[in-house]
A and B are shown apart, each in its own frame.
Chain A
Amino acid sequence: QKEVEQDPGPLSVPEGAIVSLNCTYSNSAFQYFMWYRQYSRKGPELLMYTYSSGNKEDGRFTAQVDKSSKYISLFIRDSQPSDSATYLCAMSGRGGTSYGKLTFGQGTILTVHP
């Protein structure tokens, strides 16, 4: 079983829809939670970063972390065709052998059609 599980999709939604992306994890040492966006033939770029449990909002994007359930979510409001990409959740522990190491989910392929 992988440390981080993410439904690979693909997910196809109409423009303007609310998108919900999720990951579950098994390692209770994870304390830092991230969402990356990866366009085709490009490297991942950081979208959202959250420490421990709670919510964080940035424009149309909201990240939620529930450490008690080992579950994280990314919501995209008013989705746009330009949001079409692969979304990867990533997690990290604190220091030691986790120094800088990110553990990724498999990525969810999202297509927003006009």
Chain B
Amino acid sequence: DTAVSQTPKYLVTQMGNDKSIKCEQNLGHDTMYWYKQDSKKFLKIMFSYNNKELIINETVPNRFSPKSPDKAHLNLHINSLELGDSAVYFCASSQGGNNYGYTFGSGTRLTVV
């Protein structure tokens, strides 16, 4: 009965590969987010979707492409992975873009070698 679940939890891959991270929430929230946390614990927003519509698209390389098939799912596809993409990626959700009711997943630790 995990509220926000991400798969996989760990991902080790070589430079140049393409990979996807999946996120699902069962809270009934209509807004979902992707955040990136670097090695210094700095957490920064990448994208947000509200009811499958892209709302926030921060300055992120276009190798990163989010997809929201429905309001309960938000996936992240990364093309041509680079060493600098190594980080922990967190999915989160809230209701109506409510900055109070955020729930984060437990993260996907991506290592590019």
Binding site for B on A (CB under 8 A): 8, 32, 34, 38, 41-46, 49, 86, 88, 92, 95, 97, 99-104, 106-107, 109
Q: Which residues of B contact A46 (CB under 8 A)?
A: 100, 102
**How close is B52's CB to chain A, nearest CB, in angstroms?**
15
Of the candidates B41, B92, B97, which one forms a contact with A106 in the assembled complex, judged by CB atoms under 8 Å apart?
B41
A100 touches B98 (CB 8 A): yes
Sorted nearest first, the 8 A-B pairs with minimum C-beta distance are A43-B104, A100-B97, A107-B41, A92-B99, A99-B97, A104-B43, A106-B42, A43-B106
B94 touches A41 (CB 8 A): no
**From B48, which residue of chain A is reached at the shortest CB distance?**
A100
**From B43, which residue of chain A is reached at the shortest CB distance?**
A104
Residue B44 CB within 8 A of the other chain: yes
Residue B45 CB within 8 A of the other chain: yes
- Contact string, B19-47, partner A, CB cutoff 8 A, digits 1/0? 00000000000010100000011111100
Given contact pairs A8-B40, A32-B99, A102 touches B106 in the complex (Cβ within 8 A): no
Q: How many A-B residue pairs have CB under 8 A?
A: 65
Of the candidates B33, B41, B107, which one forms a contact with A100 in the assembled complex, judged by CB atoms under 8 Å apart?
B33
A-B contact pairs, 19 of them (CB 8 A): A34-B100, A42-B107, A97-B56, A99-B50, A99-B55, A100-B33, A100-B48, A100-B55, A100-B56, A100-B94, A100-B97, A100-B98, A101-B99, A102-B102, A103-B45, A104-B42, A104-B44, A107-B42, A107-B43
A34 touches B99 (CB 8 A): yes
A43, A44, A107: which has the most chain B beta carbons within 10 Å?
Answer: A43
Residue B66 CB within 8 A of the other chain: no
Given contact pairs A92-B99, A106-B40, A107-B43, A43 touches B90 in the complex (Cβ within 8 A): yes
Q: Which residues of B contact A44 (CB under 8 A)?
A: 43, 90, 104
Bound together, the chains give a CA A46 to CA B105 distance in angstroms of: 12
Bound together, the chains give a CA A41 to CA B102 distance in angstroms of: 18
